[in-house]
């Protein structure tokens, strides 16, 4: 439930920021959206299973965390990080923020 | 052996792209590597088509983790069936021709052009060959990242604005896609295509979760009502990239929609009505937008929206007829759209503008370009003997068999509007008196020269080599005054138009292949066995 509420808040904030004009705000919004998606991924693995999933150390498979969503999240974080850096570079390299209607 | 090479179709272009990032000279070696890698992927795709004839599916589990006998294995699956092979072949061919065009048109004077295109190709190979939902997401990102750079690096004065829109929109869609993957994993407990087969029919939760995936992929494929970004971005980049992106990005999203819809929902006809309605709206709105535009590439870009409706209509109808028609349309459209973008791009880059009302009489001066354009335009409209006739006939046949008469009427009417907007380009640009002479500097667009100078000076102070654009760049052969479109610039478009003619004349041959691809999508058991049984 906590995760669901948190995802909802993050997505709402992200959408609010993405529809703004300035690219830095859009970048922040997209970071938040990425966090929301990552949280959904983590929640998909089950929030209450938190033991380290090492084969020779776990007592019961039921309490071990699902390692797959964690690997997914790690990949997704790296991708989101790379793109965010590019987006911020784009904001810095352009002719100021695109705050006026072009044409 | 051929199956083992599946991951390399993505890995080799990726490695070569990385190599080209550091290898700055000589130019001939860079060009050889780029063209050679694209040809290699094309050759491999041809081989895959041969091997997958008759419904065979190749699969390779990457990083296979051996468990005790009888237990399920853990691996990252790659798989290729006829549909993947056809898709890989047509995208590799388009990459080869677009990159060749880019070399002639001066795009590759930007150091990052070739490496980024190769990485783009790597992403495309990955998407069409993967059999894992999360890998699909990763490869879509691999495909998009280089295109963000390319989009902001090459093109007219509005390319930065276009780049921002493009990056923002696609990142948003990627966020939705990632959430969709998470939902599917949460409810189905797997991201393996084989294990997901038919899951949408058995469980409503999976159907809804996969619906999020469909929405995200629909955003990337520019289906109405989320098509607005396409016409605001593609016309602002360089012609070579417009052609490349038109064949790679939206088409690969369409591939993913086909694959996942067929696998997860298994052609559940509860969705038929909604899907047909959305696709018909896409066809109609796209073509109506195209009629109202006044630059060549905006017209073509809005046509893409309309054609995406056609292609996905085949999927919406499902069944062997609809799918075969849709896949045929997908292949035909990739070829024809590339030809149109490259032919008009050659005119634009030689004459210095893409506004249709500023051009005229090009047909008399450039008969070869005119032939390439008119052939592709007739193919797009659906006039025999070009490929569009067979594609539209098949689709019409499929929609009448499925008793979707409204869709059948839309197919015919939208074709008329397609013809109307093609005539708009033809009569203004190619017909009539000659209004404009070729520019001395190929590759520049005078249309936006004012803003272009502004932005390039502003950018020169910023991060130099990445975003700087050479308004002052001179082409190797720009010294001599240009009187015609250079032959080397026409050849890629000409090859594609002739291919469209070939597909039109030998439609039966391709139809057999697309029917095999369609039956592979309907009966997924071979695919599932190949992926799981490793």
The per-residue pLDDT string of chain B (534 residues; one tens digit each, 9 = 90 and over) reads: 788 888 899 999 999 999 999 988 788 899 999 999 999 999 999 999 999 988 888 888 887 776 666 566 678 889 999 999 999 999 999 999 999 999 988 888 888 899 999 999 999 999 999 999 999 999 999 999 999 888 888 877 777 788 888 888 999 999 999 999 999 999 988 888 888 888 888 888 999 999 999 999 999 998 888 888 888 888 888 888 999 999 898 999 999 999 999 898 887 777 788 888 999 999 999 999 888 888 888 899 998 899 999 999 999 888 889 999 999 999 999 999 999 999 998 888 888 888 888 888 888 888 888 999 999 999 998 888 888 899 999 999 999 998 889 899 999 999 999 999 899 888 888 887 887 777 755 444 433 333 333 444 334 333 333 443 433 333 434 445 567 778 888 899 999 999 999 998 988 889 999 999 999 888 888 888 888 875
Q: Chain A residue with minimal CA distance to B144?
A: A83
Say how many Å lie between the first and final Cα of chain A, rounded. Answer: 47
Among B92, B91, B85, CA closest to B35:
B92
- To the nearest whole Å, the CA of A49 is away from the closest chain B CA by 14
Residue numbers in B near A95 (CB within 8 A): 160, 454-455, 458-459
Q: Which chain B residues touch A if contact means CB-CB below 8 Å?
A: 134, 137-138, 141, 145, 148-149, 152, 158, 160-161, 163-164, 167-168, 171-172, 175-176, 178-179, 181-183, 185-186, 191, 454-455, 458-459, 462-463, 466-467
Query: A43: which 2 tokens?
Result: 């929640």
Of B137, B148, B176, the CB nearest to A86: B148
| Residue pairs between chains A and B whose CB atoms are closer than 8 Å | 99
The model's pLDDT over A2-52, given as tens digits with 9 standing for 90+, comes to: 889 999 999 999 999 998 888 888 899 999 999 999 999 988 888 777 777
- Is residue B114, in this structure, part of any structural domain at all? yes
Residue B448 lies in a domain: no
Would you call A40 and B186 a contact, using CB atoms and an 8 Å cutoff? yes
- Hey, is the C-beta of A99 within 8 angstroms of any chain B C-beta? no
Whole-angstrom distance, CA of residue B512 vs CA of residue B194: 25
A22 touches chain B (CB under 8 A): no
Residue with tokens 């602002």: B236
Give the gap in angstroms from C-alpha A17 to the nearest C-alpha of chain B: 11
Count of domains forming chain B: 1
Min distance B140 CA to chain A CA atoms (Å): 11
Chain A nearest CA to B158, separation (Å): 9
Domain-located, residue B276: yes
Question: What residues in B contact A30, CB-CB < 8 Å?
Answer: 168, 171-172, 175
B439 lies in a domain? no
Write the residue in B149, B152, B179 that is nearest to A40 by C-beta: B179
Selecting from B160, B178, B186 the residue whose C-beta is nearest the C-beta of A37 gives B178
On whether residue B478 sits in a domain, the answer given is: no
Instruction: Identify which of B137, B175, B462 has the shortest CB distance to residue A34.
Output: B175
In B352-446, alpha helices (H): 362-365, 367-381, 387-401, 405-425
Beta bridge partners of B295: B355
| HSE-CB for B376 with a 13 A CA cutoff | 29
Q: What are φ and ψ of residue B192, in 5° steps?
A: -80, 125
**Count of residues making up chain A:** 103
Q: CA of B455: which chain A residue's CA is closest? A: A95
Q: Is residue B475 part of a domain?
A: no
CB contact (8 A) between residue B186 and residue A79:
no
Name B28's Cβ contacts closer than 8 Å, sequence gap at least 6.
Answer: none
Closest CA of chain A from B188, distance in Å: 10
A37 and B CB contact within 8 Å = yes
CB contact under 8 A, A93 and B141: no
Cβ <8 Å between B168 and A18: yes
d(CA B146, CA B345): 21
**Is B457 part of a structural domain of the chain?**
no
B167–A87 CB contact, under 8 Å: yes
C-alpha distance from B344 to closest chain A C-alpha (Å)? 23
Q: Does B172 sit within 8 Å of A75, measured CB to CB?
A: no
- Say whether B145 and A94 touch across the interface (CB within 8 A): no
| Contact between chains at A34 and B462 (C-beta distance less than 8 A) | no
DSSP letters along B452-486, please?
Answer: HHHHHHHHHHSSHHHH---TT---TTTTSPP-S--
Helix (H) or strand (E) run with residue B9 in it: helix B8-22
Q: How far is B463 from chain A (nearest CA, A)?
A: 6
Q: Report CA-CA distances (Å) from B66 to B63, B70, B75, B78, B193.
A: 9, 11, 9, 17, 20
Residue at B459 is within a domain:
no
A98 touches chain B (CB under 8 A): yes
Write out the residue range of the structural domain in which residue B428 sits.
8-434+484-533
Q: Judging by beta carbons within 10 Å of its beta carbon (0-12, 13-18, 19+), is residue B291 exposed, middle or buried?
A: middle
Supply the angle between the helices B82-105 and B507-522 in degrees, to the nearest 10.
130
């Amino acid at each position: 439930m906590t995760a669901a509420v948190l995802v909802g808040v993050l997505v709402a904030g992200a959408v609010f920021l993405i529809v703004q004009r300035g690219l830095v705000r859009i970048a922040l919004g997209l970071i938040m959206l990425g966090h929301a998606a990552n949280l959904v991924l983590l929640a998909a693995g089950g929030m209450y299973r938190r033991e380290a999933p090492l084969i020779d150390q776990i007592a019961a498979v039921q309490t071990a965390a699902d390692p797959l969503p964690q690997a997914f999240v790690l990949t997704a974080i790296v991708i989101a990080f790379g793109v965010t850096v590019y987006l911020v570079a784009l904001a810095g390299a352009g002719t100021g923020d695109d705050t006026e209607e072009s044409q | 052996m051929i199956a083992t090479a599946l991951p390399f179709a993505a890995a080799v272009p990726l490695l070569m792209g990385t190599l080209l990032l550091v290898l700055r000279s000589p130019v001939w070696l860079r060009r050889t590597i780029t063209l050679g890698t694209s040809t290699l992927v094309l050759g491999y795709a041809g081989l895959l088509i041969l091997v997958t004839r008759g419904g065979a599916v190749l699969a390779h589990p990457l990083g296979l983790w051996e468990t005790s006998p009888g237990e399920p294995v853990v691996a990252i699956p790659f798989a290729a069936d006829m549909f993947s092979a056809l898709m890989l072949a047509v995208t590799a061919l388009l990459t080869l021709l677009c990159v060749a065009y880019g070399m002639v048109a001066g795009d590759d004077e930007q150091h990052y052009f070739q490496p980024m295109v190769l990485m783009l190709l790597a992403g495309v190979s990955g998407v069409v060959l993967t059999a894992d939902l999360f890998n699909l997401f990763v490869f879509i990102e691999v495909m998009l990242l280089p295109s963000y750079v390319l989009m902001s690096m090459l093109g007219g004065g509005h390319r930065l604005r276009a780049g921002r829109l493009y990056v923002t929109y696609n990142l948003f869609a990627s966020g939705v896609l990632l959430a969709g993957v998470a939902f599917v994993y949460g409810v189905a407990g797997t991201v393996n295509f084989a294990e997901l087969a038919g899951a949408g029919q058995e469980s409503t939760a999976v159907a809804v979760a996969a619906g999020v995936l469909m929405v995200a992929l629909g955003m990337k494929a520019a289906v109405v009502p989320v098509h607005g970004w396409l016409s605001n971005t593609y016309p602002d980049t360089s012609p070579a990239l417009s052609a490349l992106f038109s064949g790679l990005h939206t088409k690969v999203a369409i591939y993913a929609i086909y694959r996942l819809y067929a696998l997860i929902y298994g052609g559940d006809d509860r969705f038929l009505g909604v899907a047909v309605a959305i696709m018909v709206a896409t066809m109609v709105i796209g073509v109506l937008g195209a009629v109202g535009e006044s630059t060549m590439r905006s017209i073509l870009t809005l046509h893409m929206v309309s054609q995406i409706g056609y292609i996905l209509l085949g999927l919406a109808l499902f069944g062997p007829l609809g799918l075969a028609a849709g896949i045929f349309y997908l292949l035909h459209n990739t070829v024809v759209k590339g030809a149109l973008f490259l032919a008009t791009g050659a005119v634009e880059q030689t004459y210095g503008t893409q506004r249709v009302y500023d051009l005229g009489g090009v047909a008399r001066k450039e008969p070869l370009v005119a032939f390439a354009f008119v052939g592709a335009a007739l193919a797009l409209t659906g006039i025999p003997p070009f490929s569009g006739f067979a594609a539209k006939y098949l689709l019409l046949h499929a929609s009448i068999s499925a008793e979707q008469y409204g869709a059948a009427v839309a197919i015919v009417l939208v074709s008329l509007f397609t013809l109307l907007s093609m005539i708009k380009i033809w009569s203004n640009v190619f017909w009539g008196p000659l209004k404009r002479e070729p520019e001395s500097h190929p590759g520049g667009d005078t249309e936006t020269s004012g803003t272009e100078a502004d932005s390039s000076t502003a950018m020169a102070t910023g991060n130099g080599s990445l975003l700087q654009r050479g308004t002052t760049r001179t082409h190797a052969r720009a010294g001599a005054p240009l009187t015609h479109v250079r032959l080397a610039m026409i050849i890629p478009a000409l090859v594609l138009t002739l291919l469209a003619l070939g597909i039109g004349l030998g439609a039966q041959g391709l139809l057999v292949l697309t029917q095999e691809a369609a039956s592979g999508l309907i009966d997924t058991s071979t695919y599932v066995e190949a992926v799981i049984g490793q």
